Amino acid sequence: MRVWILAVLLALTIGEAGSQELVRQVQMLRDRDGEPGELVTEFRPQDRKKHFRVELDRLALGSRTFQVHFIAEEIADGKEIMVDTVDVGSLVASEINADVVLPNDWPIGRYRVEVLMDGKAIGAHRYIVSPTWSEQVIGYWALYGDRAGEPAGEPIAQFRSSQRILHFQAQTTGYIKRGARLTFQLLDPDGGEVDSTELPIEPDSEVFNILTYQVALPQDWPPGTYRIQAFSGKRLLGAHEFAIVGR
């Protein structure tokens, strides 16, 4: 992988406070035939070339060196993985234009751009790589036993009727949009609604793509085949049928 950094044209003043937050903003731009295109708030996995425009806050007097780090904060392969580091050298302006390229689709996850001046961090910007929310579905469901009101052990194939608290995990195929209002619904063997629970995704939520849901009865569950389903508004994200068997 290679990253090309273009740095340049305005004058800047940063003074001696090298460790301060000096990045005013970082803009992300989708690729258009090798050049920066429209502004985006997150990237898709197929956006193999990503463009970043870093605007610095003040003017630097004297010789300064700059670096840009590209870091995968959390992806399937692990956490805090250094994707690339680029030496920019001394700037002659207050803007750094950077692009990073991968020959295949990017893993979904959380990423970070860090800017360093003279070896000290002066700012960072976090971003997401994910399919757009309207394209996502629930790709994986899991059922869990109960221990003192919390999910216990490994996923199970079915519940027993004496397990009065049922635990579910649903994993979407990408980053869940902030502000989304999700609904979990549990249907009994006759199709009647047992429970319906709203799960709003707050702007500061740490949820990436794994959701949890639980429902309880004060007595044993009637055996049969049940259905759990999840919606975003009226859009069905996914459904899963499971059995509750005798004690």
CATH, residue 192: 2.60.40.1930
Buried b vs exposed e over 184-207: b needs ≥16 C-beta within 10 Å?
A: bbbbbeeeeeebeeebebeeeeeb
Residues 20 and 120 in one domain: yes
Residues paired with residue 168 on neighbouring β-strands, in sequence order = 143, 213
For 120-168, what is each residue's pLDDT tens digit? 999 999 999 999 999 999 999 999 999 999 999 999 999 999 999 999 9
Residues 19 and 108 in one domain: yes
| pLDDT band at residue 87 using 50, 70 and 90 as cut-offs | confident
Count of alpha carbons within 13 Å of 125, Cβ hemisphere only? 18
Residues 138 and 192 in one domain: yes
Radius of gyration of the chain, Cα coordinates, nearest whole angstrom: 24
- Residue-level pLDDT at 117: 87
Checking if the pLDDT of 28 tops 90, the result is yes
- CA atoms of 158 and 198, how far apart (whole Å): 24
Residues 105 and 160 in one domain: no
Residues 77 and 184 in one domain: no
Residues 137 and 124 in one domain: no
Residues 137 and 207 in one domain: yes
Q: Which of 11-25, 44-58, 81-95 has the lowest mean pLDDT?
A: 11-25
- Residue-level pLDDT at 8: 27
- Residue-level pLDDT at 4: 35
Supply the range of the domain harboring residue 210: 133-245
- The strand pair at 23-32 and 35-40 is best described as antiparallel
Residues 97 and 150 in one domain: no
- CA atoms of 56 and 13, how far apart (whole Å): 9
- Of 129, 147, 175, the one marking the end of a domain is 129
| pLDDT band at residue 17 using 50, 70 and 90 as cut-offs | very low
Neighbours of 149 (CB within 10 A): 10
Residues 63 and 30 in one domain: yes
Tokens 């803009």 sit on residue: 27
- CA atoms of 159 and 1, how far apart (whole Å): 48
Residues 30 and 116 in one domain: yes
| pLDDT band at residue 231 using 50, 70 and 90 as cut-offs | very high
- CA atoms of 96 and 15, how far apart (whole Å): 18
Residues 28 and 96 in one domain: yes
Q: What residue type is assigned to position 36 of the chain?
A: P
Residues 7 and 124 in one domain: yes
- Of 88, 104, 129, the one marking the end of a domain is 129
Counted domains in the chain: 2
- Of 129, 161, 180, the one marking the end of a domain is 129
User: How many residues belong to the chain?
Assistant: 247
Closest CA to 225 of 187, 195, 183: 187
